[in-house]
Every structure is written in C-alpha cells, then in structure tokens.
Homo-oligomer: A and B are copies of this chain.
Amino acid sequence: MSADLTDLSAGGERRATTLADLMTPSSIAIVGASDDPTRIGGRPLMHMLKLGFPGDVYAVNPTRDTVQGLPAYPSLSDVPGPVDFVLIAVPAKAVPGVMREAAAKGAKTALIFSSNFAEASAEGAALQAEVAEIARVGAVRVIGPNCLGLFDAGHNFYPTFTSTVERARPRAGGIAIASQSGAYGSHIFIVSHERGLGIRYWLTTGNEVDVQVAEAIRLMAEDESVHTIMAYAESIKDGPGLIEALEVARAERKPVVFMKVGRSEVGAEAANSHTASLAGEDAVYDEVLRAHGAYRARTTEEMLDVAYAARPRIYPAGRRLGLVTISGGAGVLMADAAADHGLDVAPMPEAAQAELKELVPFASPRNPVDVTAQFFNDLSIVPRFTKAMLDEGRYDGLIGFWTGVAGSPQLSPPLLAGLSEAMAGRENLFIQSLVAKPEVQAEYEAAGFPCFEDPSRAIAAMAALMFFGEAFAATPPVVAPLAEAPALPEGAVNEHAATALMRKAGIPAPRSEVVENARMAQHFANALDCSLAMKIVSADIAHKTDLGGVALNVDPEDAPRVFDEIMARVREKAPRAGLEGVMIAPMAGPGIDCILGSRTDPVFGPVVAFGLGGIFAEAIGDVALRRAPFDERVAGEMIRALKGRSVLEGARGAEGADLEALASVIARFSQLVAAWGDAVESVEINPLRAGPDGCLALDALIVRKEGA
C-alpha cells in the first residue's frame, strides 16, 4: 500500500500544487452538509456562513431541500457551478463514489473528514487505497481521511469541524500549522490563539492518503504570507519529502518548529496503535530535523515560545549571549539555563567593564551584567549599559530581566523608552523577561521585544532562534555516494569478503586470506612474515572467541599448527557448524577500537553511527548519528560529538588517534553505504582500530536486505 501512496505524493505534475491551490479555493461543496450546526457536516458550513467566506458555498444533502438556509443539492454532480474544493462528510463506504464525482467536477482538492479507513480495519485500508487510486487518476489532491480539516484565516475559509474556531476566531498572521493529529492540532491552534499568535493556515492531515505533513511544510514555506511553521507528527512516511520541505524552509529563512512525538517506547506504541504507522527510530528524526535546520520542540509550550519569539524575524547567527538584569540571582539562573542550551555567556571586554563600573560602582559589569537597583535612581543606566553590551560586548543576542519593574506604572515607560533608544537603528534580537499586564507587554512587543515572564523560557527561545540563525547561514553540503563503490557479491558475505570489500572501497583493512588447510596457512604466513591474527570463518558462528576460534600474535612458523588447533577446537565445540576455513591476517598495531556502522532507516535511508568500541556504544549510548552520505567535516563533527572523544584525542597523556584519517574513513564509509543504498540492511566495521597513524577495519559485517 505505502509504495502506491508514496508514488502519489512524489508524482511529477501533482507536485506543482501551491498552498493556495490546496486550501484557498473560490468555491466549496460540502457533501454530507447538515442543517444542525453542531454536527460534523454542519459546523464547517456554519463557520463559513458566519465568518464570511467570500467564495461560492454549495451544500450537498439528498434528504433535504435546504441546509442552514442554503439550497441543498442531491449530489455533487448536481451542483451547478464549478467546484474547486469538495468537503466530504459522509460514511467511509460512500466516499469513493463522492471522490469520483469530485474528479468529474474537476475539483482540485477533496478534504475527507470520514473515519473508518486504514486506522480502523483491513476493510478500511482497502477503501483508503481505492480513494487514493481515484484521486491519482482524477488528479484530485486529497486531505485526510480521518482528519479535522483545515482553515485559511486570510480568506475566512473554515472547512473544519473543530469547535475551537467558534470560541477563538483565528486572526490571520504569519504562522502556519501542519498537524497529523486533528485533536492535538486543534489544541495547538487554540493555545496559540490564546497566546496572541496569528495563525493564517491550519491543516490537519489525518491518515495522509495523499497530502502529508512533509508536503504541507513545503507548501507553507513556499507561501509568501507564511513566516513561521509549526508542525506536529507521529510518523513521517516520505523521508526525502520531509528533507526537501525543510530545505525549502531553510532557503526561505522560515523557522520550522517541529514536534515529532512517539519518542519513547510507550509513546511509539501508542502512536502505532493510534495511527497504524510505524515510527522510524527516534534518534534518526532528531538528527534529520537538526541537520536540515528544523527545531525539534519537546513540548507544545516550547513550540509556541519559539514561534512567538520568531515574530521580529531576527535570527542571530552566533551563540554569544549578553544578559542584563536588575537581579543578580536572575543573572545566575539565566547563566545556568544558557549553559544548558550550549550558549556562550562570554564576559564583556575588560575595558568596557571598567567603564560600566565607573558608571555604577555597585554593578557587576562582567556578564551577566547586573545593573542593580541603582537603575531606579538613574534611568539612563539601562540604555547606556545596553549600548555598551552591543557595541563593546558584540553579543549576538541580549536578554533583559526586569520582572515586575516593567509592570510598574512609574518605571515601565522610562524602561521601555531606554531600551528602545538603545536599540534604535540596530537589528539585534533583544528578549525581555518581565511581569506586566498584557496591554503593557503589548507595548514592548510593538517595540520589537519578545517578552517572557519566566527567564528560563526566554533563554530557551533565544537558543532556538540562534539555532535557526546558524542553520539559515549554513549551506547544506552536497555529497555524492561513492562513485566507484564495489559491487556486492551474490548471497551471504563472510567476514573475509566484507573486509576485502572495505579495502576495495578505499577503507584501510589488513590484507587477509582464508586458508583451508595447514599447508596454505604456512604458505600465506610465510608471505606475510609478521605476527598474525587467525580466526575461524563460518557463517554459523557468531562468537568466534568463545569457541576457541581465534588466535592472536601467532608466529608465522606456528601458523600450520595453530590452523589445526583452531579447526579441531571449533569442530569439537560446534560439530554442526559449516567451516569455510581460517582467516589469516597481520596483527594490527595499537589503537583505540571504535564501531562504525550503518543501517537503512525505513524512512530516511542509510544512516551512519559512530562510537567508541567496547560497551560505550551499546551500554552508554554514546554514539553520533548522521544520514549518509556526508563529507569529512561532518565526520569530524561526529567524532567531536562523542562524550568519550577525549579518548580519541589522547586522554591523560595516552596517545590519541589520527583524527584526520578517522574522519576520512567515516566519511568514505558513509559514501559507500549510500551507494549500496537499499541493497543492504546494515553494515558494521567492528572494531575499527583508530591508531596514531591511520585506522584499520579489523572486521566487517554486511547484512543484505532480504529480497534485495
């Protein structure tokens, strides 16, 4: 099923859709329109009549003459004029028929509220596939089924049965919301509205038979009235589509704040039982969102905070944060929070500190800059300190802590005037932490200052905007899969063959040979003429050491004897295992053992993981992850991302690894597995010995994809 549906959204012509094509029609027909404005088929009509949708509205209901005062047509085909948009609120079984009519009518979009499709049963899934096929053939874009609808507040277009738009009439603004979940999407809308955010577009995608959250993000990013995008999803089916959408948003400098839920085991289980679509591995989502410039929010509050703080559309391109406060305690607290978010609370230059100290002897001019209660006596302190922080401190962003002072009728006006004076002609982001009535806060907002009551939330929002600043400034690197990737042999790949493939792909690995008898062992050992490692080769044996199948530091002249011993031990302990022989290779030099692996994520394709060997990767989870392919720069990032990186860098006087060689091998590996793509399930080099003069793949494992 999913292959079909993916094709749909990836199809050529169908991609030409704009957001306006999809959700700003000039006419709508509601099939299953109800006279009762509290019913699913009645509410959208009521919204549009009440709020004044300017286009044509047709009600389709075979059992009535009129619906909510409009003439009712017995079927969609009976509607006289052209119909851009068809809203379908009839039982699942009747949906295919309506879809055929919609296609015949030349509708651009069909929105299906109805449930009882793939989320409910196998029968429903078949029905859903039928809907998909009709849509594809008829070139009708489909939203849903099993969704709550959408709105375009700019055109008073409200094909949704959520009751929230009644209590909270959307004010058009620069924000767009794309949500897989209807009820939770509705929650996001209402809390955004109460927060004062202007939501222009709201789109719920439900079962995503055609339009998915990923595509919605792309269309929103391409729409010029949208500045900021909030997205919520439990699963992503079209990984490349999501990446494309995020890159469009990045190119347009539009922040995408993304809640991908189902992070935990119980959460993923719940998502699965809820939407019947398996989530990919969470760490991969984390990485994909980060790498493509989307901010992953963990809570709805955080998502709203970021969207709200993005209102001035200033995205600082660095992480240097200046803090100015009337409370030393708040300064400490904000410095802690900044450290949690990886921001740099760098001190003011010494000279500037001395100047400020002269201005206010009690002040702490370092950063956090504590202007103290002295500010109450001399209101000029705020603009002077702020200017010094911008001119001398050269911070990428500022946060001010004023608590209830900003709510004081006497002190607030001069404070705001001072802040505004300092910022005149500047383009820096300055977030204020203050406690004031909404109307007072609105004055600060109008002057370009996002406001937070809680200083920790101000810091978190600043960190997110700095993330966007860095992401928008970064050029997405284009790295190709390995052109000269060696072909995979047919059938199973043993360790010897896997290691040889690595060598062919340009990843250093010891030259080895599989020998089948003592004479061959002698011959190859003589040729190598160095200390040897000897290992049993058998597809049936996972833990070679446990069965006595490994010998290390073997003298070349002992090779035939050791060959016989290994074969005898393994035959005795694993009499039924098929033995292909013994692999002989030179002993590797000293180094730090790492694990370099890839697996093919069902959503995002090959993903490379790198970590230290031993129990680090497994027990501690100290692993860096990137989508393949990538270059040495990204590989270097992966090395530095490890908590245990000091081991590779050379901890406590011990010799470290050749990090350049290591990065080069990691990058090349990523290009290799990208070239192999779907043909493999996973590839693992374990250990990859990272020595002081380069690194060596001592063992490799390639698991072919079943059927590939």
The one of B183, B301, B329 in contact with A329, judged by C-beta atoms closer than 8 angstroms, is B183
Residues of B within 8 A of A682 (CB): none
From A51-59, A89-97, A260-268, A576-584, the one touching the partner chain is: A260-268
Can you list, as one digit per residue, whether each of A252-274 has a CB less than 8 Å from chain B (1) or not (0)?
Answer: 00000001011111111111011
Please tell me if A398 contacts chain B, counting CB pairs below 8 Å. no
The interface residues of chain B lying within 8 Å CB-to-CB of A184 are 327-330, 333, 403
User: B651 and A618: CB pair below 8 A?
Assistant: yes
The segment from A421-429, A553-561, A642-650 found at the interface with B is A642-650
CB neighbours (8 Å) of A378 from chain B are: none
A259 partner residues in chain B, CB cutoff 8 A? 333
Q: Is A187 within 8 A of B330, CB to CB?
A: yes
Whether, in the assembled complex, A300 has its beta carbon less than 8 Å from a beta carbon of chain B, the answer is yes
Query: Is A3 part of the binding interface, using a Cβ–Cβ cutoff of 8 Å?
Result: no
A168 to B436, CA, bound (A): 12
**Chain B residues closer than 8 Å to A644, beta-carbon distance:** 615, 619-620
Expressed in whole angstroms, the minimum distance between the Cβ of A194 and any Cβ of chain B is 7
Interface mask (A333-371 → B, CB under 8 Å = 1, otherwise 0): 101111110000100000000000000001010101010
Q: Is the CB of B646 within 8 A of A615?
A: yes
Contact A274 B167 (CB under 8 A): no
Chain B residues lying within 8 Å of A271, measured Cβ to Cβ, are 328, 332
Q: For A338, what are the chain B residues with a Cβ–Cβ distance below 8 Å?
A: 264, 266
- A489 close to B (CB within 8 Å): no
Q: Which of A331, A338, A653 has the most CB of B within 10 A?
A: A331
B-contacting 9-mer, from A126-134, A452-460, A630-638, A669-677 = A452-460
Residue A191, interface by CB 8 Å: yes
A499 sits at the interface (CB 8 A): no
Partner of A332, one of B167, B234, B333, B615: B234
Q: In chain B, what residue has the closest Cβ to A162?
A: B404
Given A181-B327, A643-B620, verify A301-B457 contact (CB < 8 Å).
yes
Query: Mostly helix, strand, loop or mixed at chain A's interface?
Result: helix
Residue pair B266, A403 in contact (C-beta under 8 Å):
no
Contact between A453 and B191, CB atoms less than 8 A apart: yes
Contacts of A181 in B (CB 8 A): 327-330
Inter-subunit contact B621/A643 (CB<8 Å): yes
Which of A583-603 touch B at CB < 8 Å? none
A289 vs chain B, min Cβ distance (A): 15
Inter-chain CA distance A274–B337, complex, in Å, is 17
Q: Are B194 and A435 in contact (CB under 8 A)?
A: yes
Whether B332 contacts A262 by the Cβ 8 Å rule is: yes
A335 contacts B267, C-beta separation under 8 Å: yes
Contact of A186 with B by CB under 8 A:
yes
A304 to B: closest C-beta gap in Å: 9
Residue in B closest to A189 when the chains form the complex, CB atoms = B404
**Contact across chains for B403 and A183 when beta carbons are under 8 A apart:** yes
Q: In residues 182-220 of chain A, which contact B (Cβ within 8 Å)?
A: 182-187, 190-191, 194
The 7 closest A-B pairs by CB, nearest first: A181-B329, A184-B329, A183-B327, A264-B339, A274-B328, A299-B456, A267-B336
Q: A183-B330, A184-B333 are in contact. List 9 more A-B contacts (CB 8 A).
A: A179-B329, A183-B373, A270-B366, A274-B331, A299-B454, A301-B457, A619-B643, A619-B645, A620-B622
A: residues with CB less than 8 A from B are: 115, 120, 163-164, 167-168, 179-187, 190-191, 194, 232, 234, 259, 261-271, 273-275, 298-301, 326-333, 335-340, 345, 362, 364, 366, 368, 370, 373, 403-404, 407-408, 435, 453-457, 543, 546, 615-616, 618-622, 643-647, 651-653
